[in-house]
Amino acid sequence: MSRTGRILIVLAAILGADGVMLAAASAHSADASRLASASSMLLFHASAVLGAVALAERGTVHARIGIATAFGFVIAASLFAGDLTLRHYAGHGLFPFAAPTGGTLLIASWLALAVAAAWPKRG
Protein backbone atom coordinates (compact mmCIF):
# COMPACT_ATOMS: atom_id res chain seq x y z
CA MET A 1 0.00 0.00 0.00
CA SER A 2 1.27 3.45 -0.87
CA ARG A 3 1.98 6.11 1.72
CA THR A 4 -0.73 8.27 0.18
CA GLY A 5 -3.21 5.42 0.49
CA ARG A 6 -2.37 5.01 4.17
CA ILE A 7 -2.80 8.74 4.78
CA LEU A 8 -6.21 8.59 3.14
CA ILE A 9 -7.22 5.62 5.28
CA VAL A 10 -6.26 7.58 8.41
CA LEU A 11 -8.29 10.55 7.17
CA ALA A 12 -11.26 8.28 6.41
CA ALA A 13 -11.07 6.88 9.93
CA ILE A 14 -11.11 10.41 11.33
CA LEU A 15 -14.12 11.29 9.16
CA GLY A 16 -15.89 8.17 10.42
CA ALA A 17 -15.12 8.91 14.07
CA ASP A 18 -16.30 12.50 13.66
CA GLY A 19 -19.45 11.26 11.96
CA VAL A 20 -20.26 8.98 14.89
CA MET A 21 -19.61 11.80 17.37
CA LEU A 22 -21.93 14.13 15.46
CA ALA A 23 -24.59 11.42 15.28
CA ALA A 24 -24.42 11.05 19.06
CA ALA A 25 -24.54 14.82 19.53
CA SER A 26 -27.55 15.10 17.24
CA ALA A 27 -29.36 12.40 19.21
CA HIS A 28 -28.95 14.38 22.43
CA SER A 29 -29.53 17.90 21.15
CA ALA A 30 -32.73 19.74 20.36
CA ASP A 31 -33.10 20.90 16.76
CA ALA A 32 -29.96 19.10 15.60
CA SER A 33 -30.90 18.55 11.96
CA ARG A 34 -27.67 20.20 10.85
CA LEU A 35 -25.63 17.82 12.99
CA ALA A 36 -27.49 14.82 11.61
CA SER A 37 -26.80 15.98 8.03
CA ALA A 38 -23.14 16.62 8.85
CA SER A 39 -22.87 13.18 10.44
CA SER A 40 -24.35 11.47 7.40
CA MET A 41 -22.01 13.23 5.00
CA LEU A 42 -18.97 12.25 7.05
CA LEU A 43 -20.00 8.63 7.51
CA PHE A 44 -20.99 8.07 3.88
CA HIS A 45 -17.85 9.67 2.54
CA ALA A 46 -15.52 7.95 5.00
CA SER A 47 -16.63 4.72 3.33
CA ALA A 48 -16.30 6.30 -0.12
CA VAL A 49 -12.69 7.29 0.65
CA LEU A 50 -11.88 3.70 1.68
CA GLY A 51 -13.50 2.39 -1.48
CA ALA A 52 -11.74 4.85 -3.77
CA VAL A 53 -8.37 4.03 -2.20
CA ALA A 54 -8.97 0.29 -2.51
CA LEU A 55 -10.01 0.62 -6.15
CA ALA A 56 -7.03 2.83 -6.97
CA GLU A 57 -4.52 0.61 -5.15
CA ARG A 58 -5.83 -2.52 -6.90
CA GLY A 59 -5.69 -0.87 -10.31
CA THR A 60 -9.45 -1.19 -10.85
CA VAL A 61 -9.70 2.53 -11.57
CA HIS A 62 -7.18 5.02 -12.91
CA ALA A 63 -4.91 5.34 -9.88
CA ARG A 64 -4.16 9.07 -9.94
CA ILE A 65 -7.76 10.05 -10.56
CA GLY A 66 -8.96 7.59 -7.92
CA ILE A 67 -6.59 9.00 -5.31
CA ALA A 68 -7.53 12.57 -6.26
CA THR A 69 -11.17 11.55 -5.86
CA ALA A 70 -10.49 10.23 -2.38
CA PHE A 71 -8.84 13.51 -1.38
CA GLY A 72 -11.80 15.34 -2.89
CA PHE A 73 -14.16 13.34 -0.69
CA VAL A 74 -12.12 14.16 2.43
CA ILE A 75 -11.88 17.89 1.72
CA ALA A 76 -15.45 18.33 0.52
CA ALA A 77 -17.12 16.29 3.28
CA SER A 78 -15.03 18.13 5.88
CA LEU A 79 -16.01 21.47 4.40
CA PHE A 80 -19.70 20.57 4.26
CA ALA A 81 -19.87 19.03 7.72
CA GLY A 82 -17.61 21.64 9.28
CA ASP A 83 -19.83 24.44 8.07
CA LEU A 84 -23.02 22.80 9.35
CA THR A 85 -21.44 21.95 12.69
CA LEU A 86 -20.10 25.46 13.19
CA ARG A 87 -23.52 26.90 12.31
CA HIS A 88 -25.11 24.67 14.97
CA TYR A 89 -22.65 25.44 17.76
CA ALA A 90 -21.41 28.96 16.96
CA GLY A 91 -24.31 30.40 15.00
CA HIS A 92 -22.23 31.17 11.90
CA GLY A 93 -20.57 29.17 9.16
CA LEU A 94 -16.99 28.78 8.02
CA PHE A 95 -17.43 31.29 5.18
CA PRO A 96 -20.26 32.22 2.81
CA PHE A 97 -21.40 29.24 0.73
CA ALA A 98 -19.04 26.80 2.47
CA ALA A 99 -21.60 23.98 2.68
CA PRO A 100 -22.78 24.36 -0.94
CA THR A 101 -19.16 24.50 -2.06
CA GLY A 102 -18.49 21.27 -0.17
CA GLY A 103 -21.58 19.68 -1.69
CA THR A 104 -20.58 20.72 -5.18
CA LEU A 105 -17.09 19.30 -4.63
CA LEU A 106 -18.66 16.04 -3.43
CA ILE A 107 -20.66 15.80 -6.65
CA ALA A 108 -17.52 16.55 -8.67
CA SER A 109 -15.61 13.88 -6.74
CA TRP A 110 -18.25 11.26 -7.49
CA LEU A 111 -18.12 12.20 -11.17
CA ALA A 112 -14.32 12.01 -11.06
CA LEU A 113 -14.61 8.48 -9.68
CA ALA A 114 -16.80 7.61 -12.66
CA VAL A 115 -14.09 9.00 -14.97
CA ALA A 116 -11.45 7.01 -13.06
CA ALA A 117 -13.45 3.83 -13.69
CA ALA A 118 -13.94 4.61 -17.37
CA TRP A 119 -10.35 5.69 -18.02
CA PRO A 120 -8.24 2.99 -19.65
CA LYS A 121 -5.63 1.41 -17.42
CA ARG A 122 -2.02 2.03 -18.22
CA GLY A 123 0.60 -0.58 -18.03
Residue 19 reports pLDDT greater than 60: yes
- pLDDT band for position 67 (50/70/90)? very high
Q: What is the mean pLDDT of residues 29-46?
A: 94
Share of residues in the chain with pLDDT > 70 (%): 98
Cβ neighbors of 88 (< 8 A, separation 6 or more) are: 29, 32, 34, 35, 38
Mean pLDDT of 45-59: 97
Q: Is the pLDDT of residue 50 over 80?
A: yes
